Amino acid sequence: MQTLREFTRKTKRGNILKIVREHYLRDDIGCGSDLCKYCFQNEVYQLTSKHEIASSLFKFPHYLVLDTNVVLDQIDVLEEDVLHNVIVLTTVLNEVKHKSSSIYKRFNEIIHDRTRNFYVFVNEHHKDTYADRDPGETANDRNDRAIRMATKWYDTHLETSQTSKEFERSGRANTRVVLLTDDAGNRAKAEAEGILVASATDYVKSLEEFPLLVDKLSHKTFDNEKQALPQYPAHLSMKQVLEGLRLKKLLQGAFQASRENYLEGSVNVETYEKGILIQGRECLNRAVDGDLVAVELLPESEWSAPSEIVLEEKNVYADDVPSEERAEEEKDMLQQVQQAAAATSAERTPTGRIVGIVRRKWRQYCGILQPSLIEDTNRHIFVPADRKIPRIRIETRQAAKLQNQRIIVTIDTWPRNSRYPLGHFVRSLGPLGDMATENEVILLEHDVPHCKFSEEVLSFLPKMPWSITSEDYAKRVDLRDLFICSVDPPGCTDIDDALHCRELPNGNYEVGVHIADVSHFIRPGNALDQEAAARGTTVYLVGKRIDMVPELLSSNLCSLVGGVERFAFSCIWEVDKEANVINKRFHKSVIKSKRAMTYEEAQVLIDDATQQNEIAKSLRQLNRLAKILKKRRMDNGALVLASPEIRFQVDSETHEPLEVEAKQMRETNSMVEEFMLLANITVAEHIAAEFTECAVLRRHPKPPPTNFDPLVKAARYQGFQVDIESGLVLSHSLDKCVKEDNPYFNTMIRILTTRCMMQAVYFISGSLQKEEFFHYGLAAPIYTHFTSPIRRYSDIMVHRLLAASIGADSTYAQLLERKSNEELCHNLNYRHKMAQYAGRASVGLNTHLFFRGKEEDEEAYVLFVRKNALQVLIPKYGLEGTLYLKTDKEGKDGVERTKSEIIFTFNEEDHTQRCGNVVFHSFDPVTVRLSLDSSNVQHEKLVFRLVKPYIKGFSVEPSADADNPPTKKTKKDVKKKN
């Protein structure tokens, strides 16, 4: 059966276009119920009578039909294994897909879980349930009518199968069909049409066997909430926002909340380099970090400057404080912010207020529950782990159970009359302080995809046992006889790259970089490829790795382990003795690595002159050539930057850190780095020439001059002139920053330089001019990532482009499609940034665990001198922290100081702090005592206290056992504790 769907569309020129589409209707679509005697049934996803749920609203067996708003708002309820026998209409499924891709994905996972009995009914193509759109009817009203029509049909259809004498003799009650909708208008129409209907909230509350399910309900408002006075200005409507943006009266940008000051934030707007400053709770107007907002610029006379003070909200239950007292407190807080801003030497910046929300970017948040001070209440405050997120009010009956747990909460709404947003409890992650729980928090807070790979993804992996076939050998260059080896960090199992070097008859050298051929196993467009693209990168935490691709590939079939034949993508050069490239070639190959080594093992082999085997000779030549390549790069203006990095020795049983130390860099680290850089540059030049519009490249923008201000000032105070005109002169300036009495000085200068840099990003060649391809840090005109396809999806994209260019693999439409590749690059940049942040958070967590219950005195250097603190760096651990010189009434460094005679004076001219005869400059050596402050269970922090130079009444007082160094935490100690 066929029906015609007609609609009109207005073209750009103003013409009216009539469009007619055929829509086929069928009479053989099954209802999916085991009660039905008429329909052909699909046995896999049928509705059964085995899962009857007891509801005080509907005291008889029933199936559920969900409205779109129920799926969108109550997905957390649906994910619980409580509701069964649910009819999912294609009308609803399509609406959910259109409105939220993330919820659609989660809902699909429920549907495909066979134990849940969620049955998809194709109502849009069933002859009895298809609803044509009436003249003047909105699309939303038509969809609501289609949902009611399908619910009514189901109820009537099942009734005919339950009127037989056989069914009556069974004594079973009739199964009915209930519509769940939170749309009051739709509910009223359903009741008028004789349909059984309820709101999601009423239905969940009627499930007396599952009382805790109520905690997961999404709330637009809380029951019995007092109609309090508005605490925030009203947001403009979307129509008013769009009109304001069109007339340029308003500006649009992403809101960034301050981590240090709850009354401050900024909005990144394209036309303003530093963004627009927002100060005060009313001006912040319910924006949450990440939201896309509309901003109204204040008159220039009202502009302010960032306050640079730490301000935390003291009164957690501010809603219960009388409004006058609360208003006075807010006024005092705002005055603090504005006074601090006025006291800064920084120029005032554009300042505004948020007047509307264009798009919310709410997600699930990790944190802890702050139980209410009021007894016998279900309303509590949730404190997020991320300081940039406001506290959230939730209702839960499990407060006592959740008190020492890490939990997940999501925001539902933020009405004007509520100081905090309203949300609901999603799930508990585990006990506070537990390593697995804290790692889960890090992954969730940094939006790292870490769920298990789905069966669909795993289905695209090679079937084991896997082996290389004769056809594979015929298509590839056989390099198994070469003395190829890999050099990686200790414990590395995902080995991406291997090297070889051999002398040629003409006296030149053949150098090869061999990269795991991951693109052979991951074919474009399948589920495995889509999952790898979504993850973007492998994430490394301390003692834990979250793979971009399944372990069968990352640690087995793709990993270039020693003594095993593997597929590779080889980049081979002929170079002379001065490392000048004579020619190059690329090909897919089969290699057999002769040895997989650590950096230390490779260094020992190079340094041991008695070792004269082929691998040793190859490594020595590679090391010699790498030094020439590095010098050439430095001469061209490449920067040698530094960042404090540490590594942990982790207990294999408890996963707690046993030892922490700064990472060591050897010649072999630099050797591998140089040839990886050469390979990346060589491949970038090739693919950019072959694919001028769609090559995947990586650029590092030159920082604006203002970024270098802290570096230039810090160096000037030490008597050095840092020239930032170009990368080359900056590199030469950094080389001259050497102090004989401070061997760590040059490293600290380079750490400061690293802080001035912009983020390197992926981009598509056709989107920028060639002059913008430049990689500032490497001083390379063009660059890409080719050498780590096991852990970076960008490298897989580059492999596919390179393979297509040399005829080693076929091309495909999306590979050459600029827009889709730009979207992929955008995701890769985001994932790469989040992976870096997650790694740093993991280091921070393990550092806290290492110092828990112990104190250590360590040599340190002053990195920055601030108005009320010294930023210090401990080279031994690569740790950086703050030594506060002034304190608030709580004692910011965890120690109550009441000795008012200790006064530090900050000199803005030379950025020094003076106390009596003691003066602190940047880069001065100091001794500090490290300990862990655990008073805030959610935000533990390392405390730095001054030991030397000694300032009476401020420094740590010498004790009788001061000369006895604190004991280290050993494996034995950890086991004793457990």
Query: Do residue 793 and residue 714 come from a single domain?
Result: no
**139 SS3 class:** helix
* Domain assignment present for 793: yes
By C-alpha distance, which of 783, 776, 780, 782 is closest to 724?
776
* Domain assignment present for 667: yes
By C-alpha distance, which of 788, 789, 758, 787 is closest to 774?
758
Query: Do residue 388 and residue 486 come from a single domain?
Result: no
By C-alpha distance, which of 44, 19, 39 is closest to 29?
39
Domain CATH for 247: 2.40.50.690
User: Which one of 216, 241, 272 terminates a domain?
Assistant: 216
Q: Does the pLDDT at position 394 exceed 70?
A: yes
Query: Do residue 179 and residue 298 come from a single domain?
Result: no
pLDDT band at 968 (very low <50, low <70, confident <90, very high): very low
* Domain assignment present for 1: no
> Is the pLDDT higher at 753 or at 959?
753
> Is the pLDDT higher at 358 or at 665?
358
> For position 66, what pLDDT does the model report?
95
Quick: pLDDT tens for 128-182: 899 888 888 898 999 999 999 999 999 999 888 887 777 777 777 888 999 999 9
**2 SS3 class:** strand
Other CB atoms within 10 Å distance of the CB of residue 946: 23
In angstroms, the CA 871 to CA 884 distance is: 9
Mean pLDDT of 813-841: 91
* Domain assignment present for 373: yes
Quick: pLDDT tens for 361-370: 998 999 999 8
In angstroms, the CA 376 to CA 391 distance is: 21
pLDDT band at 322 (very low <50, low <70, confident <90, very high): very low
- 383 and 316 Cβ atoms separated by less than 8 Å: yes
Which residue shows structure tokens 């001259």?
736
**Residue 173 structural domain:** 33-216
Query: Do residue 652 and residue 792 come from a single domain?
Result: yes
Q: Does the pLDDT at position 957 exceed 50?
A: yes
> For position 318, what pLDDT does the model report?
45
H helices within 344-454, ranges in order? 399-402, 435-445
* Cα 868–chain centre separation: 32
Q: Does the pLDDT at position 975 exceed 60?
A: no
pLDDT band at 335 (very low <50, low <70, confident <90, very high): low
In angstroms, the CA 198 to CA 183 distance is: 10
* Domain assignment present for 489: yes
Query: Do residue 117 and residue 201 come from a single domain?
Result: yes
Q: What share of the chain is helix, strand, coil (3-state, %, to 5)?
A: 35, 25, 40
Which residue shows structure tokens 């020992």?
604
Question: pTM higher than 0.85, yes or no?
Answer: no
In angstroms, the CA 782 to CA 688 distance is: 9
Mean pLDDT score of the chain, rounded to an integer?
85
In angstroms, the CA 547 to CA 536 distance is: 10
> Is the pLDDT higher at 886 or at 839?
839
Q: How many helices (H) and strands (E) does the chain have?
A: 26, 38
Query: Do residue 49 and residue 186 come from a single domain?
Result: yes
Mean pLDDT of 860-867: 82
> For position 687, what pLDDT does the model report?
96
pLDDT band at 737 (very low <50, low <70, confident <90, very high): confident
Amino acid letter at 337?
V
Query: Do residue 350 and residue 370 come from a single domain?
Result: no
DSSP 552: I
DSSP 40: -
> For position 786, what pLDDT does the model report?
96
Quick: pLDDT tens for 697-725: 999 999 888 888 878 888 887 888 888 88
Query: Do residue 368 and residue 357 come from a single domain?
Result: no
* Domain assignment present for 967: no
565-575/544-546 β-pairing: unpaired
By C-alpha distance, which of 931, 969, 925 is closest to 660?
969
In angstroms, the CA 101 to CA 107 distance is: 10
Mean pLDDT of 299-319: 70
* Domain assignment present for 28: no
> For position 889, what pLDDT does the model report?
38
Amino acid letter at 444?
L
Task: List the structure tokens of 848.
Answer: 């806290």
CA dist 90 to 140, 144, 425, Å? 14, 12, 29
Quick: pLDDT tens for 923-953: 888 999 988 887 766 677 788 888 988 888 8
Domain CATH for 863: 2.40.50.140
Query: Do residue 579 and residue 687 come from a single domain?
Result: yes
Cis peptide bond upstream of 465, omega within 30: yes
Domains identified in the chain, total number = 6
Query: Do residue 102 and residue 190 come from a single domain?
Result: yes
> For position 886, what pLDDT does the model report?
61
Q: Does the pLDDT at position 887 exceed 50?
A: no
pLDDT band at 878 (very low <50, low <70, confident <90, very high): confident
> For position 789, what pLDDT does the model report?
96
SS (H, E, C) 914-973: EECCEEECCCCEEEEEEEEECCCCCCCEEEEEEEECCCCCCCCCCCCCCCCCCCCCCHHH
In angstroms, the CA 257 to CA 312 distance is: 13
In angstroms, the CA 453 to CA 794 distance is: 20
> Is the pLDDT higher at 428 or at 911?
428
* Domain assignment present for 13: no
User: Which one of 361, 396, 421 terminates a domain?
Assistant: 361
Mean pLDDT of 789-797: 96
Domain CATH for 421: 2.40.50.700
Query: Do residue 128 and residue 186 come from a single domain?
Result: yes
Domain CATH for 155: 3.40.50.1010
Quick: pLDDT tens for 111-125: 988 888 899 999 998
H helices within 352-491, ranges in order? 399-402, 435-445, 455-458, 470-475
What phi and psi, each to the nearest 5 degrees, are found at residue 419?
-65, -35
By C-alpha distance, which of 620, 388, 389 is closest to 499?
620
> Is the pLDDT higher at 905 or at 678?
678
Mean pLDDT of 304-327: 60
Amino acid letter at 276?
I
Which residue shows structure tokens 């970038």?
684
Mean pLDDT of 476-483: 94
- 517 and 501 Cβ atoms separated by less than 8 Å: no
Query: Do residue 418 and residue 545 come from a single domain?
Result: no
- 788 and 497 Cβ atoms separated by less than 8 Å: yes
Region of poorest pLDDT, from 41-50, 64-73, 510-519 = 41-50
- 682 and 720 Cβ atoms separated by less than 8 Å: no
> For position 3, what pLDDT does the model report?
60
